[in-house]
Amino acid sequence: MSASADLAHVASAAKADARPAIELAGVNKWFGALHVLRDVNLSVALGERVVVCGPSGSGKSTMIRCINRLEVHQEGRIAVDGIELTDDVRALDAIRREVGMVFQSFNLFPHLTVLENCTLAPIWVRRMPKKDAEELAMELLARVKIPEQAKKYPGQLSGGQQQRVAIARALCMRPKIMLFDEPTSALDPEMIKEVLDVMVELAGTGMTMMVVTHEMGFARQVADRVVFMDQGEVVEVGTPDQVFNAPKTDRLKLFLSQILRGH
């Protein structure tokens, strides 16, 4: 039972299925009186890779966290794989099983080994037998190139290794969609590449990905679409070529000049 075979099946379904993987329609969210998401409309097809960028405070992390209900939106409609995101607990469970998330600060469970981190959810949520879960976990750890760390604790690993474990942990649930919230922002420069390599390889298998990041090189290489957000709204959307080489709005031009200054 190979994990990559499963993902290939997902990739072929992407072309057959017209239903969008993620759909945000008229989404509005307030933190107190602060209007942090303003009429966000976005639709991500199955198998599509979307990169979200923008200055800090633009609401991109908030938007991605609304998708698996780590934040609650007050207005508008969010649907994941056709399932509406409401207060219904069963819908929420179904959505969280299909959506995997990788956090900026890794959020590995420090009291469990790397292997246990990965097998926890398959055992308790997908009700897999322990042996099968461990087999799956070892396979995915091999894919992220750290199978020898399986028995170690997160505190013993470097930042780059921890983030790769976090990716493997999310993949162990065999999600259809993977969300990345600034996965490399907390890493030292020499470790960013190893994590990006894993993400590029993942994209190559046809996984639906939504990535919030500042890594423009990654966006150019992998993204089907780039979404630029500023002050809570979606300002521009287009292919990487359109967004980076032919920005239409002034705000995007300003952002690009700030980001690309060092490159």
Partner 1 sequence: MSDASMSTGPRKPPITAVGPIAWARANLFSGWLSTAVTLAMGYLLIKSALSFVDWAFLNAIWSVPSNAQGPQTQVCRDLQGSGACWAVIGEKHRFMLFGTYPYEQHWRPALACVLFVALYVISAMRRFWRWELALIWVGMLTAIGVLMWGGVFGLSYVPQERWGGLPITLILATFGLAFAFPLSILVALGRRSSLPAIKVLCVLYVELIRGVPLISLLFMASVMFPLFLPEGMNIDKLLRAQIAIILFAGAYLAEVVRGGLQALPKGQYEAADAMGLSFWHKTGLIILPQALRMVIPPLVNTFIGFFKDTSLVLIIGIFDLLTAGKTAIVEPAWQGFGVEVYVFIGSIYLVFCYAMSKYSRGLEAELNRHRHR
Partner 2 sequence: MSDTRSDPRYKRRPPKRPLRLSWSDERVRGIFWQIVVVAAVGSLIYWLWSNTSHNLAVRRIATGFGFLDREAGLPIAESLIPYDPTNTYARALFVGLLNTLKVAVIGIVLATILGTAIGIARLSKNFLLSRIAGAYIEIIRDLPLLLQLLFWYTILQGLPGPRQALKPMEGVVLSNRGLKLPALMWENAHTAALVAFLLGIIGTWLYARMARAKQMADGQPRKVWPTALGLILVLPVVVWYALGAPWEIEYPVLRGFNFRGGMNISPEYFALLIGLVTYTAGFIAEVVRAGIMSVNHGQWEAAQALGLRHGSVLRLIVMPQALRVIIPPMTSNYLNLTKNSSLAVAIGYQDIVSIANTTLNQTGQAIEGIAIIMAVYLTISLSISLFMNWYNARIALVER
Is 67 within 8 Å of 210 (Cβ atoms)?
yes
**What does 43 bind: partner 2, partner 1, none (CB cut-off 5 to 8 Å by kind)?**
partner 1
Give the separation between CA 69 and CA 96, rounded to whole angstroms: 9
- Cα 247 from chain centroid? 25
Question: Token match 């072929």: residue?
Answer: 12
Residue 250 is encoded by which pair of tokens?
């002034």
Instruction: Spell out the residues 6+ positions from residue 86 whose beta carbon is closer than 8 angstroms to its own.
Output: none
253 binds partner 1 (CB under 8 A): no
- Which residue from 3, 11, 17, 39 is in contact with partner 1, where contact means CB under 8 A? 39
Q: Which is nearer to partner 2, 166 or 229 (CB)?
A: 166
- Which residue from 4, 156, 245, 249 is in contact with partner 1, where contact means CB under 8 A? 249
Is 110 within 8 Å of 166 (Cβ atoms)?
no
**What does 19 bind: partner 2, partner 1, none (CB cut-off 5 to 8 Å by kind)?**
none
Q: Which is nearer to partner 1, 74 or 105 (CB)?
A: 74
215 binds partner 1 (CB under 8 A): no
Determine how many CB atoms are found less than 10 A away from the CB of residue 173: 18
Residues of this chain, 90-109, that bind partner 2 according to CB under 8 A: 93, 96-97, 99-101, 103, 105, 107-109
Q: Applying CB under 8 A, which part among 26-34, 58-66, 111-119, 154-162 lies near partner 1?
A: 26-34
For residue 226, list its beta bridge partners: 51, 238
1 binds partner 1 (CB under 8 A): no
185 binds partner 1 (CB under 8 A): no
* # residues contacting partner 2 (CB under 8 A): 35
64-101 as b/e: b if 16+ CB within 10 A: bbbbbbebebeebebbbbeeebeeeeebbeebbebbbb
- Write down the least CB distance from residue 90 to partner 1, Å: 18
Please give the residue ranges that form the binding site for partner 1 (CB under 8 A): 28, 30, 32-35, 38-39, 41-43, 74-75, 231-237, 248-249
